[in-house]
Chain A
Amino acid sequence: MRLFAASSPHIRHGDDIKVTMGDTILPLLFLLIVAIYYTGLRALTLTAVSVLSCIIFEYLYRRILGKKRSIGDMSAVVTGMIIAFCMPVTAPIWFPIIGAFFAIVVVKQLFGGLGNNIFNPAAAAICLLTVTWPGTMSTFPQATAKFSPFATPVEFETGVPVLTALKNGTLPDNRPFEMLIGYTPGNFGTSAILVIIIAGLVLLYRRIISWKIPLAYLGTVAVLALLFPRCPSGRLDSVVFELTSGSLAFVAVFMATDPVTSPVTTLGRLLYGFFLGLITVFIRYFGIYPEGAFFALLIMNPFVLALDRLGWKLKSKGGRIAYEQE
């Protein structure tokens, strides 16, 4: 009998990193199914390419540098899915490969791998692609258009995403109900608001995410939209369209809550969400890009430690009972 004399505690909760990542992947799969239903099998191709390249890059990097294998933790799969979801379905097939390389090798592994990266890998990849190929990344087909898995679409009817309409000060083509079910021009994986809401509730229930960041984030955007409406049809419409358009809801649920790059204290989380909302609205209103959520993430990522420091100041205040155990 070989006994293992490790330190206490001697029992562990069953949810390890793999389970956590698996629980995140499941709702993402539902989003993928909706995307395939709306835009055709090309959504699947892009996602598969993205996920596979993330896994391969992670494997190769760690293999070449002689580090311990880490693809088993499934975090590369999550990153891969998120990168693909934040693209128009018409993006060329090599887009996700470039995104995956940047996310996994540059942003994640060069910083020391999972847990050590300062920036959200997927957000960084999307920002790189958006800045480098702004045209392709913000040209969206009509919501009705379907695409075959492999041929890169060259000519298609472009739709006007709600964010662009809002930027131009015109009335969006979509009704709020269409926004909820994701029947609108946009990134193929981030439009189905209803599915994202359900996914968020599931993740909350499984304690993968906390409510603080998404609520503070979306709340801030909602309040700002109410105070400074962009939609010609009124303040409330403006709130609805700002919340449901672009990738905001997806970012709030799946990316802003990324454990590695978000604060852990209550105050830190609330402030993080608040500033994300502020910056997102700022970029949406005044920037040249229609969507500001990804940039907001990258801007806020370096402040996580500082926000937690603030949160700890509040948390450690107030007396505890001094009681000596006898």
Chain B
Amino acid sequence: MLKRPRGGLWFELNKTTAAERPIAELKAPARVYLPLKQCKGETPSLLVGRGSRVLKGQPIADGSHGLSCSLHSPVSGTVESIVEYNHPVGGKSMMAVISNDGRDMPYKAVQSRTDSAEGIIARVKSAGIVSSNDFSKPYWEKLRRFRERKVNTVIINAVEVEPYICSSQKIMDELPDVTVAGLELIMKCVGAKKAVLAVSDDIPEEVSRGMVEAAHLIDIELTIAHIPPKYPNGDEQFLMRALFAHEIEAQMKKGGKRPEVCFVYPQDCVNVQRAVNDGVPQITRIITVAGDAVTNPQNIEVPIGTKISDILNYCGLSFDPDRVVLGSPMRGVAIQSLDVPITKSVGAVLALKAAQRRNTKSICINCGKCVSVCPQGLLPNYIAMRAVKADFEALKGLNIDECIECGSCAYICPGRMPIVELIKNIKKAAI
């Protein structure tokens, strides 16, 4: 029996202000900070040294070996220093600090137009594109796997169901032609014939219509799938359940094969289009900057390596936030200092008022709200109880492995139990 999607949260999405403003472009600051490790996998090898002159778009780290990802300079200037750095999202690696000469002198790589699947993957690889979902793998590796799986449908995942986050919506709104051009390349690369645009119900009608029209111009039949704006429906596995409940059920009876679909994000499409057709590596990313402390919530295109403090200064802070989060409000990472640079795997910067007082005593009153919102059908209250006692045997019996750490339980908990934190810690301790 297939478990129907249940649980989940209906947020007040709070994204109108940011979604109404156009995507702004942030000028590269005087210094950019580039941790070499921008995604999962191995750290790429450094190509420049201290004092090297670099041009805008010039590779500074080479990721052609192993599961890795190249890195390019978003500015032209001089490498000031190479230091060790521990990025809160990416982890420990060397970091190149480049001072910007302000002249934006572009690096010209000799590249010819390419149309073959291998050519596209090679171009994506040399452009250092990182997948824009939370799992931030090198994008060439994802494309290779999609191709290997013989994917027949590409689904643009534009389901944004967390508060504040609206960069996918804005990209589709303002860059529909670029997005569908990227989609065409991805489809060609993986050999897919069909394309679906999955959007949440709350997205303005003209955005999805614009996408369909742009796709029509280059002969792609883009079907729209409306998904209820329920968290975590943007997750691939839940999107899968929402889109293909019947197919999956039928196929699971036969032998558990999943539909041959793959998910891409509008940001991915844009990156691929720019890399393959324009020869531009990934040196920027469109992110949402929002939160109750941000004066002008908006989506901005930031050069990789820009510090969070520069971004927040640009958007303005109406008061000192208690929490600054890289990524989504439900799964992002809270940072302790604003001196952290943006990497390719950061999709949003949120400056928030504290959701609770520090040192709030948390208790479980067993109310069961967590049970009713858990999208995986687990019992978070019992898991938390056992996690406190580190009772691994019982935790296994409670299927703790199925927890996707979506945070729904901790969000709803009236006793403010840090359920996700407990689960993360216990998973770490079990290894």
Contacts and interface: CB of A to CB of B under 8 A. Distances in A.
Interface of A: 1-13, 15-17, 19-20, 68, 113-115, 207, 210, 259-265, 308, 312, 315-316, 318-323, 325-326
B350 interface: yes
B382 interface: yes
Contacts of A318: 1-3
Interface string B121-135: 000000000010101
Contacts of A12: 355-356, 410-411, 413, 416
Nearest to A208: B367
B239 to A, nearest CB: 10
Interface string B312-329: 000000001111110001
Contact of A13 (B337, B381, B412): B412
A115 B1 CA distance: 35
B337 A3 contact: yes
Interface stretch (B23-31, B196-204, B358-366): B358-366
B421 A321 contact: no
Q: What's the dominant secondary structure at chain B's contact region?
A: loop
A6 B421 contact: yes
A10 B256 contact: no
Interface residues of B, number: 74
A315 B334 contact: no
A326 B136 CA distance: 9
Contact of B379 (A9, A16, A261, A264): A264
B61 interface: no
A5 B415 contact: no
B241 A321 contact: yes
Contacts of A262: 366
Contacts of A210: 368, 372
Nearest to A113: B363
Contacts of A8: 325, 329-334, 405, 407, 410, 420
Q: What's the dominant secondary structure at chain A's contact region?
A: loop
Contacts of A263: 368
B361 A68 contact: yes
16 contacts: A1-B338, A3-B338, A6-B418, A7-B421, A9-B331, A10-B323, A10-B332, A11-B330, A11-B411, A13-B414, A114-B363, A259-B368, A308-B379, A323-B236, A323-B240, A326-B142
A323 B258 contact: yes
Contacts of A68: 361
Contacts of B188: none
Contacts of B262: 326
B377 A315 contact: yes
Q: Report the 3 A-B pairs with minimum CB-CB distance, sorted nearest first.
A: A264-B368, A9-B407, A7-B421
Given A8-B331, A11-B163, A320 B3 contact: yes
B145 interface: yes
Nearest to B418: A7
Contacts, number: 163
Nearest to A112: B363
A326 B154 CA distance: 14
B335 interface: yes
A17 B414 CA distance: 5
Contact of B323 (A4, A20, A259): A4
Contacts of B414: 13, 15-17, 19-20
A222 to B, nearest CB: 25
B379 A312 contact: yes
Given A7-B418, A321-B241, 20 more contacts: A3-B324, A3-B335, A3-B337, A3-B338, A4-B334, A5-B334, A6-B323, A7-B420, A9-B420, A10-B329, A10-B352, A12-B356, A12-B413, A207-B369, A318-B2, A319-B1, A321-B248, A321-B258, A325-B235, A326-B263
Interface in B335-394: 335-338, 350, 352, 354-356, 358, 361, 363-369, 371-372, 376-377, 379, 381-382
A321 B416 contact: no
Contacts of A16: 356, 414-416
Given A5-B336, A326-B263, A11 B365 contact: no
B137 interface: yes
Contacts of B112: none
A9 B366 contact: no
Given A3-B334, A326-B135, A9 B329 contact: yes
Contact of B415 (A17, A308, A312, A323): A17
Interface in B30-49: none
Contacts of A3: 321-324, 334-338
Contacts of A19: 414
A325 B237 contact: yes
A20 B364 CA distance: 13
A320 B412 contact: no
A149 B312 CA distance: 62
B162 to A, nearest CB: 9
A46 B399 CA distance: 48
B252 interface: yes
B365 A265 contact: no
